[in-house]
Amino acid sequence: MKRIFIFGALALLLAGCSSQLDQIRPKDKISSAAVNEADLSKLTNGILNRMESLTVSFWCDGDYLGENFTAGPGFDYADVHGEIVSSSSSWAKSRWQTGFVAIMHINELLKSANSASAESAATLQAKGTAYFCRAYVYYELVSRFGGVPILTEPSMGVVPISPEADVWAQIIADLHEAEKYLDSVSNVYRPSDEACWALLSKAYLWTGDKAKAIEYADKLINSKFVLSKTSNEFAGMFVAGQSSKEIIFALANKRSSSFLRIFEKMNDTDASFNYSMAEELRTDLFADKNGTGDIRKDPTYNPAFPVRIIKFPNGGQNMGQFIANEDPSASPIMVFRLADAYLTKAEAQGASAGLATMKTFMESRYASVNLPSSMGDKEFQNLVLDENNREFYAEGRRWFDIKRTKRTDLYKTWNGRDHLLYWPIPQDEIDLVGKEAYPQNPGY
Amino acid sequence: MKLTIKSALSALCAAAMLVSFISVSAVTMHAQSVNEQAPGAKVTVTGIITDDSGLPVIGAAVFPKGNSGAGVVSGLDGDYKITVPGDATLVVSCIGYKDAEVAVAGRTSVNVTLATDSELLEDAVVVGYGVASKKLVSSSIASVKMDGIERGAELDPMKALQGRVTGVSITSASGIPGSTPMVVVRGVSSISGNSAPLYVVDGIPAESYPNINASDIESMEVLKDASATAIYGSRANAGVILITTKSGKSGKTRINVNGQYGFAQIAKDIPMANTEQWIDVMQNAIDNYNVQMNDLKELTLPNHVKEAMANGQALPDFDWLGCISREYAMRGGATASLEGGNDKTTFYVSAGAEMTQGYIIKTDFSKYTGRAKFSHKIADWLKLNLNLSGAYAKYNKVEETDGSLKVLRAAREEQPFYGPYNEDGSWRVMTEHGICRHNPLNAILEEDYYVNKTQLQGTISFDVTPIKGLKWTPSISGYSIYDKTIKKLTENNTDRGYKDGWAALSEQKDHSFRYLIDNVISYNNEWDRLMYSAMVGHSFEKYEYETFGAKSDNYANEAYPSSSFDLITSGTQIYAGSIGYNAYALESYFFRGAANWDNRYILNVSFRADGSSRFPKNNRYGFFPAGSLAWIISNEKFMPQTDVINELKLRLSVGQTGSMAGISNWAAMSLVGAGASYDGASGFAISSSAQDLKWEKSTKYNLGFDFELLSGRLYGNFDAFYSRTDDLLYAKPVHATTGWTSLTSNIGSISNKGVELTLGGRVIDNEFKWDLSGNISWGKNTLVKLLDDTDIIIIGDSSLYGGNKHALIIGQPISTWYMLKSTGVYQTDEEVPEKLYAKGVRAGDLIYEDVNGDGDIKYEDDRQVCGKATPDFFGGITSNMSWKGIDLNIFCQYSVGGKIFAAWRGAGQEGTDHLGLSSGSVNMDGASVTSYFNISRDAALNFWRGEGTSNYYPRPMLSGAHTGYDVDYNILTSSHFLESASFFKIKNITLGYNFPQAWMERIKMDGIRVYFSVDNAFTFTKYSGYDPEVSMNAGPAHKQYGTDFGYQPTMRSFLAGVQFKF
């Protein structure tokens, strides 16, 4: 009898367990089938989270390639333009991949929003955010590569490269679409009508539609934003807990993990970081040519700490920081501010009408402005480019300003390589889809 | 070693004797039916039973033939006394010896000498899910008995396989204390994952490299062909290593104690340039730059160097390597075991401790292990087995593998005229105080960094034997691993301390738990001349892994409390570390049948079905069949029955195995993750897209031949294999507009073929004995098929590790090096092609082969195959000599045909070859000055100084003179950094002495052995680095396979040890 009991007990071990195989699942993820309409606002947040990391990973391109930087302590650079001279450039590949991965996620959000049954606030926000972000990512791509594949929905297939003009047209169309769903700005950390106008004015500037560029810049200038007028106000736009009235759109960057830290690249608390201000800019950039008492000088550069670009304060002490930063890792990521509108408008207006725009703008940035009553076209363009660089130094603009204005003469090590204005299509991507779909840009 | 076996035998027989007092019949070694007792007058016979070396055999059963019930057992001196009929034949029987039969023929004194039965001892072979009689094995299994080899200073059990088993290639990642070696069985069967074999410890598949006390191991079986491995189905592609630990044996309680202690020193150094040589190189680099770029740069030296020069004093030279390394690294270990039991219960318990110091100060590894095994017979038909083991290890670490701090490389590349401290005794800080790298001594001393690993394993199983030959073994096993990583920076950690995001305190805890329920039913029987067995089984296992970590503080904003605090909560800011979860489950059914006809023909068939949670529901099960045949030619009637040929065996096998290593646990699911929060609000993001995946399957063929001649004076094994793996799982790159950069897919096929040969024998066999054996393994693997329309996938890697240097190329082996081929140095400007000249290339720069012939060198256009990381052939040679109690064991290893990439020399980045590479600007005596990394003495003395001076090291040159390259022209990833990894190593020399048996008896001990051993004694290689065996990663398809990044080396060690048995 005992024997049978023991047998019976042991036989329990023979029980099958195949149903267990279906029950294994990750604890921090859910099946995509389980995501529903109620989750739209969370998916929207996910896209903005992605925009944060995308923006930071693209951040330094315009300054580094624009000869604004020299090697920071512990680094050494040879030919800065060399980063994009070859089709195997890791820069080209990573920007391309980061951009298109983001496009897929945005298109997935749009797909979910479009299939939503109700036109709730969350649905509108999702659609507006998706259209805006798609335009924003395409803006980053087209200004680097020129023509790129246009995807308005997720696709596993090969989508050939479209001409540059089509990409700009798509950007403008997306922004107009976004406007329909978005509201006027109430929270600068969310896309708004004003954010769309800022990007529209830039897109029109790039495509040469100056009237439209001015129109959208004016809409911003005439709205509720206010230019910073003191160094503290200016510096305050880049630190955690900012309350600036100049910001049109910024990314919140309040993260609890995977921190994004722009200051690490040029003002790290560690003794080694990638970038310092280019040697000649240390004396030239804020040389007070067109005005004195530039409020941006001290928040950007401290001659006592020559290796540091202090625009993005690291929160550390004894490192020449202009202002404190309570939580450097949670500093907002600037995207558009009112200065964008003025400088875009002035560039679109040209010398005759633009000088007044520049004067208005510069009067808030300088203690006293010293501008002639009239300027030649080239002289004015130089002024606008210089002001752009003073305003947006270390914010990744310089190379793109020079590309847009075709002023490669301002580079010291360009050596006539005008083909570099269009980055190479990554060779790895060409290898995967073929040369027919992705013809290489000329010169590579 | 012979003595060891003998003492074991004595103990066994002693055990038998003890048991015999309870029931004499229990000691009879052969169950025989009782015949009728022969008539005749009774005599009392006495005598001594000895073995062939004259030592007494204790516990041998002595009985009249045909009446085992009337037996006695020999005593401590091998003596016996038995009363039998005068015409009886005495049978003397003892485990480990051949039975002897002696006719009494009226004598009253009969001494018997027993011959050792080696065959009997090795009769059982551990196979998957059981133990098989050697007579039923027809597959390719290599077995290593741990007690039979001298491991020297090597405490890691797997390393014992290296050079001793054919087809098993073992490399070390580094000499970082406690680092585990990489084991590859029979080439590359997979291009994802790490190609590591499946380790099965006492029947439980391990999740990773087993952490086990080598002295606990009875044997290790390497299952190589599909017939042997297919019973493990989906995890067997890369081979299976079965580890069987020792079990208790009934009889006298035996104690075995081992201790060893010694020290190690660096076997080969990489000398760096001194200040004078450094100045020479940098001055040349600046002169060359000024000439070419029409510039006026000057070399700035620190004041203390200038003063020394002006005063004609010796230039300051600081030994950076010396300040972070140990001259003597201590190591040692001790183990003790206790075993015994009676006819119902047996036990084995052991404890072990070991400690190894590394080359770099503060690094060490210590491990403590314990094991307890019990077995108890509840009834005739039911036995309970318990197997519990635990291991605790502590690794004291430094920031060696960190890509930024990399302390050993920092020390090597630091300028020689600075030391780690400023004049006021404070730490010298990178860039602030002239040095061009993170101060390595500061990084080491101002941080506490350790890892604890705790591992517990337990199995409860029953052997249910209701009828003869039938056994049902249900078992439950649990396996838990708990790892803890702690880092603490002190206030004075200058390089990390103030950096935001570098936690001053961090703690990471990983826990994994696996349970396994097995049911195995086996049946053995014989019919006529047919011996057969069958086994069916079911297995379910579930694995869960959780990691959880937290960090606190950075030094910014005075947030750091003090390094006296150890818990995260002491900080003002607390944030999450890595937090994650992983799990999978596997359900399997398996079957094996084996048959042996007349000891001439052996057939094995097996089948396994594996269902894995990693695959989509419609593809959940994979099926893995295998079969093998063996023909023992020596047992055929047509073979002459002489002593010349003892064994001739031919084996043939075919089968299929699988691999799951290439896919994540969630590859088959479309998932959305949270955690993409924005502005403090929760955010979702798509994290994976379900892929329709199939099982990666390998079909393997094996032809083997075993022979033994002249009673073991000469023996050998030969195996030839071919395998092909299809539907390789790989993270296939996809075009980014899909939204993914790579997706796990079934992409291609690889083949492996090879030949393995072992030859051995007893060269001299008298009082002086010399056993010599050697083996060689040739292997070749080829990528047969890749993605559609693709014949190459470049494997990308960071320039920190030398840039892209491997590729998967159809027709080429896995681990192929794919880079520029450097063929020398341009001796004159005229030799430089026009397009390169325009990019600043001049005489003294490296020549790369212009593969596409366009007169230009572009990395993406001019790369070519430059060899491979895996060797063409490798193996080992073992020599054992013994004379009286003295034995000398020499073990050598070799490997030929592989190439190693010396990333530490600085491909794509700074390194020891960089003649003039700047680290950027530093603050030198108050001024901002460009600083330059130090270089190796070899490069400093042998660089190109003009036509005909060097065809290897280029001219020194500052960066900037070459345009159009994202790294400098002379440091492009090329074969300039590729070196031969061929080597011959005298791995271990051990000289031992066993105290004479007569002395032992006097002090009532079974044995004392003392030995002295040198490990890593000599290496013959052309490689300029520490060790040609180094590889950063285990997987031959991995981007860093065969790459030497310059971690601390394995060392030459000297050990003395002693072993007691009683």
DSSP character string of A237-284: TTSTT---SSEEEEE----SSS---THHHHS-SSS--SEEE-TTHHHH
Does A128 have pLDDT greater than 90? yes
Is residue A365 within 8 A of residue A338, CB to CB? The reply is no
Q: What pLDDT, on the 0 to 100 scale, is given for residue B101? A: 83
DSSP assignment of A26-44: -SSEEEGGG--GGGHHHHH
pLDDT at B292 over 50: yes
The whole-angstrom distance between B627's CA and the closest CA on chain A is 27
B283 to chain A, closest Cα gap in Å: 18
Pick from B930, B934, B942: nearest CA to B911: B934
Q: What is the reported pLDDT for B25?
A: 34
Q: Is the sign of the CA dihedral A118, A119, A122, A124 positive or negative?
A: positive
Q: Are A282 and A308 in contact (CB under 8 A)?
A: no
Least confident of A200-204, A398-402, B66-70: B66-70
What is each CA distance from A249 to A263, B25, B113, B769, in whole angstroms? 20, 94, 98, 86
pLDDT for B29 beyond 50: no
Mutate to test the interface with A, among B578, B684, B819 (most CBs of A within 10 A): B684
Interface size A-B, in CB pairs within 8 Å, comes to 281
Q: Which residue has the higher pLDDT, B1051 or B503?
A: B1051
Predicted-complex ipTM score: 0.91
Instruction: Give the one of A52, A73, A85 whose C-beta lies nearest to B921's C-beta.
Output: A73
Structural domains in chain A, sorted by start: 39-70+80-182+415-444 (1.25.40.390), 208-394 (1.25.40.390)
Q: What percentage of chain A reaches a pLDDT higher than 70? A: 95
What mean pLDDT do residues B807-828 have? Answer: 93
Q: Could you count the other beta carbons within 10 Å of the beta carbon of residue A355?
A: 20
Question: Among candidates B475, B473, B478, B460, which has minimal Cα distance to B515?
Answer: B478
User: Measured between alpha carbons, how far is residue B59 from residues B94, B429, B500, B998 in Å?
Assistant: 7, 73, 73, 19
Question: Would the CB atoms of B587 and A415 count as touching at under 8 Å?
Answer: no
pLDDT at residue number A232: 94
The residue-averaged pLDDT of A3-18 equals 63
Kindly state the percentage of chain A with pLDDT values over 90: 71
Q: In this complex, do A315 and B557 lie within 8 Å of one another by their Cβ atoms?
A: yes
CB-CB contact of B181 with B159 (8 Å): yes
What per-residue confidence (pLDDT) applies to B768?
A: 92
Encoded tokens for B497: 């301390």
User: Which among A129, A267, A269, A276 is the top mutation candidate for probing chain B, defined by the most B β-carbons within 10 Å of its own β-carbon?
Assistant: A269
pLDDT computed for residue B527 by the predictor: 86
**pLDDT, tens digit, 9 for 90 and up, residues A57-107:** 999 999 999 999 988 886 777 778 878 888 888 899 999 999 999 999 999
B71 to chain A, minimum CA–CA distance in Å? 34
Q: How far is B673 from chain A (nearest CA, A)?
A: 4
* φ/ψ bin of B92: left (φ > 0), alpha (ψ from -120 to 50), beta (otherwise): beta
DSSP SS3 for B882? strand
Cβ contact B581–A26 (<8 Å)? yes
pLDDT band at residue A14 under the 50/70/90 scheme: low
For residue B494, pLDDT beyond 70: yes
Is residue B668 pLDDT above 90, yes or no?
A: no
Which chain B residues are closer than 8 Å to A100 by Cβ? 736-739
Given a cut of 70, whether residue B149 has pLDDT beyond it is no
Q: Please give the average per-residue pLDDT across B723-748, as a whole number.
A: 89
Average pLDDT, rounded, for chain B:
85
Contacts of B454 (CB under 8 A, 6+ apart): B390, B391, B392, B393, B481, B482, B483, B484
The confidence score (pLDDT) of residue B119 equals: 44
Phi and psi (nearest 5°) for A429?
-70, -40
- Please check whether residue B101 is in contact with residue B90, taking contact to mean a CB–CB distance below 8 angstroms: yes
Question: What pLDDT, in 10s, does the model give residues B626-662?
Answer: 999 999 888 888 877 777 888 889 999 999 988 887 7
Q: Are B997 and B145 spatial neighbours (Cβ–Cβ below 8 Å)?
A: no
Give me the helix-helix angle, A121-145 and A193-207, nearest 10°: 20
B707-725 burial code (b ≥16 CB/10 A, e <16): bbbeeebebbbbbebebbb
Output the CA angle B824-B826-B827, nearest 5 degrees: 115
**Contact residues, chain A, for B555 at CB < 8 Å:** 269
| DSSP characters over B902-961 | EGGG-SSS--TT-TT-EEEEEEETTEEEEEE---BHHHHHHS--STTS-SSS-----TTS
Provide the token pair at B1045. 């990044």
Residue A352 backbone zone (phi > 0: left; psi -120 to 50: alpha; other: beta): alpha
- CB contact (8 A) between residue A317 and residue B436: no
Q: How many residues does chain B have?
A: 1062
**DSSP-based three-state secondary structure for B891:** strand
pLDDT at B173: 64
Contacts of B613 in chain A (CB under 8 A): 20-22, 24
CB-based contact A18 B611, cutoff 8 Å: yes
Inter-chain residue contact A252 with B500, CB threshold 8 Å? no
CB-CB under 8 Å, B382 with A17: no
Residue B277 gets which letter from DSSP?
Answer: H
Q: What is the pLDDT of residue B141?
A: 81
Cβ neighbours of B430 in A, within 8 Å: 73-74, 271-272
Q: What is the pLDDT of residue B3?
A: 37
Residue A30: list chain B partners with CB under 8 A: 671-673
- Please check the confidence at residue B11 and state whether its pLDDT lies above 60: no
User: What is the model's pLDDT at position B411?
Assistant: 93
Please give the CATH architecture assigned to the domain spanning B2-118: Sandwich (2.60)
The mean pLDDT value for B838-846 works out to: 93
pLDDT score for B150: 58
pLDDT at B260 exceeding the cut of 80: yes
Set of chain B residues whose Cβ sits within 8 Å of the Cβ of A255: 677
Contacts with B881 (C-beta within 8 Å, 6 or more apart), sequence order: B768, B769, B770, B771, B887, B888, B889
The residues in A 28-47 lying below 8 A from B, measured between CB atoms, are 28-35, 39, 41-47
Asked whether the beta carbons of residue A48 and residue B679 sit closer than 8 angstroms, the reply is: yes
Asked if A272's CB is within 8 angstroms of B500's CB, the reply is no
Residue A20 to residue B438, Cβ atoms within 8 A = no
Task: Please tell me which residue of chain A has the smallest CA distance to B556.
Answer: A316
pLDDT bucket at B557, cuts 50 / 70 / 90 = low
Average pLDDT, chain A: 91
Kindly determine whether residue A78 and residue B677, on different chains, have CB atoms separated by under 8 Å.
no
Residue B917 pLDDT? 81
* CA pair distance B336, B353, nearest whole angstrom: 9
Residues B59/B13, Cβ–Cβ less than 8 Å = yes
Asked if residues B403 and B800 have their Cβ atoms less than 8 Å apart, the reply is yes
Residues B684, A431: C-beta atoms closer than 8 Å: no
Q: What is the pLDDT of residue B964?
A: 78
In this complex, do A46 and B676 lie within 8 Å of one another by their Cβ atoms? yes
Q: Which residue out of B520, B552, B572, B735 would a mutagenesis test of the A interface target, given it has the greatest number of A Cβ atoms within 10 Å?
A: B735
* Positive or negative: CA dihedral B118, B156, B191, B606: positive
CA B482 to chain centre: 21
Interface of A with B in 253-312 (CB under 8 A): 254-257, 259, 261, 263-264, 268-272, 306-307
B110's tokens: 């009969």
Q: Which residues contact A58 (CB under 8 A, 6 or more apart)?
A: A95, A98, A140, A396
- Give the integer Cα–Cα distance in Å for B735 and A221: 41
Least Cα distance to B520 among B503, B497, B536 occurs for: B536
Torsion angle, alpha carbons of A83, A84, A89, A92, to 10? 120
Alpha helices in B96-188 (DSSP H): 118-121
Selected residue with higher pLDDT from B36 and B269:
B269
Residue of B nearest to A108 (CA): B686
Q: Amino acid identity, residue B852?
A: N
Q: Does A67 touch chain B (CB under 8 A)?
A: no
Contact B644, B596 (CB under 8 A): no
The reported pLDDT for the residue numbered A11 is 65
Phi and psi (nearest 5°) for B668? Answer: -90, 5
Q: Given this model, what pLDDT does residue B16 score?
A: 37
User: Is A48's pLDDT higher than 60?
Assistant: yes
Per the DSSP assignment, residues forming a β-bridge with B125 are B132
Q: Mean pLDDT, to the nearest integer, of B671-700?
A: 89
Measuring CA to CA, how many Å separate B318 from each of A73, B321, B905?
23, 9, 21
* pLDDT higher than 70, residue B160: yes
Of B189-198, B293-302, B468-477, B776-785, the range with the lowest mean pLDDT is: B189-198
Residue bearing tokens 């460009």: B930
Classify B254 as helix, strand or coil: strand
CA B835 to CA B962: how far, in whole Å? Answer: 12
Residues in Cβ contact with B536 at an 8 Å cutoff, skipping those fewer than 6 apart: B520, B521, B589, B590, B591
d(CA B255, CA B926): 69
Across A198-212, average pLDDT: 97
What pLDDT band is residue B154 in, cutting at 50, 70 and 90? Answer: low
pLDDT at position B13, please? 40
A89/B contact by beta carbon, under 8 A: yes
Average of pLDDT values for B38-46? 73
Distance from the first to the final alpha carbon of chain B: 16
Residue closest to A212 by CA, chosen among A181, A175, A244, A243: A175
Look at B544 and B634; give whichever has higher pLDDT.
Answer: B544
Question: Two tokens at A90?
Answer: 């890791």
Instruction: Give the whole-angstrom CA distance, residue A90 versus residue B796.
Output: 10
Q: Which of B289, B678, B805, B933 to mutate to test the interface with A (most CBs of A within 10 A)?
A: B678
pLDDT in the model for residue B1021: 94
Q: Give CA–CA dist A208/A402, Å, rounded.
A: 15
Q: Yes or no: say if A129 and A47 are a contact pair by the CB < 8 Å rule.
A: yes
Q: Which of B587, B676, B677 faces A17 most closely, judged by CB atoms?
A: B587
| pLDDT at residue number B554 | 64
Q: What percent of chain B has pLDDT over 70?
A: 92
Instruction: Give kind and range of the element (H or E) at residue A93.
Output: helix A90-114
- Residues B966, A263, A310, CA angle at the centre, nearest 5°? 110
- A41 to chain B: nearest residue by CA? B683
Angular region, B16: left φ>0, alpha ψ -120 to 50, beta rest: alpha
**Interface membership of A433 toward B (CB under 8 Å):** yes
Q: Please determine, for residue B288, whether its predicted confidence score (pLDDT) is greater than 70.
A: yes
- 3-state SS track over B176-238: CCCCCCEEEECCCCCCCCCCCCEEEECCEECCCCCCCCHHHEEEEEEECCHHHHHHHHHHCCC
Classify residue A97 as left (phi > 0), alpha (psi -120 to 50) or beta.
Answer: alpha
How many C-beta atoms surround the C-beta of residue A187 within 10 A?
Answer: 11
